Amino acid sequence: MSDISYLWSLRERPALGSRRWCIVWAKRALHSVALLKIVMARRSFRARGVQVGALSILDRFALKGPAAHLSVGEHCFISGSTEIVALDQVRIGSRVVINDRVTILTASHHVGDPGWRSFKKPVRIDDYAWIAVGATILPGVTIGYGAVVGAGAVVAKDVPPLAVATGNPAVIRLNARPADLCYDPVALLPPFEAWIGRRADPAGPANSPVHGVEPRP
């Protein structure tokens, strides 16, 4: 199913000719160009070989290495100033938010090796994870379900599910988030909200992490 067809299947359906119907279709027209840009960016990544799930927003971020090494689940947001070096596999789950100036690395060098040999290790970011502004994820790291990497953190070790990692080197605080996460980080962005309405996230746009606000553990 195409991106537009998927949105059409989820669309809000107010009564024809009602006041709400007029508002909804005016918003859809207003945000049509922004929606087209989102769709074209997704198709560009897919054409390169990236696996992209439904309704994920991939700004035109820097992707280095084979595009087929990157997969992104559904309803994710990845900022355009992100850099992903996919020399090994990078697996991103669903409803993941990656904010501005995040760097994800899958390769480095052995500093203790006289020959300075390089190595590669995969990175995995599980569902509902939030990687905040300026964070760096080093090779071989897994960010668990619902975990948060705070602004500017440098993560060299796995972050357990529902934990918060802050600082350089990152210090981990366990069980900092609820286990029953159920928000949709992209549904309230105007190009999507114009089609599917506000029912997807009752918390409201001010509480959505897409806007680049760093976590406050």
Structure token digits, residue 135: 């964070």
- Give dist(CA 170, CA 178) in Å, integer: 21
The widest CA-to-CA distance across the chain, in whole angstroms, is 74
Please say whether the beta carbons of 102 and 137 come within 8 A. Answer: yes
Catalytic residue among 31, 75, 109, 110: 109
Q: Can you state the angle between helices 19-30 and 32-48, rounded to 10 degrees?
A: 50
Q: Can you state the angle between helices 3-10 and 32-48, rounded to 10 degrees?
A: 130
> Annotated catalytic, 75?
no
Please say whether the beta carbons of 55 and 186 come within 8 A. Answer: yes
Backbone angles phi, psi at 71, to 5 degrees: -130, 140
Residues with Cβ < 8 Å from 61, sequence gap 6 or more?
78, 79, 80, 81, 82, 83, 84
Phi-psi domain of 152 (left: phi exceeds 0; alpha: psi -120 through 50; beta: other): left
CA atoms 91, 48, 54, 32: torsion sign = positive
* Active-site annotation, residues: 109
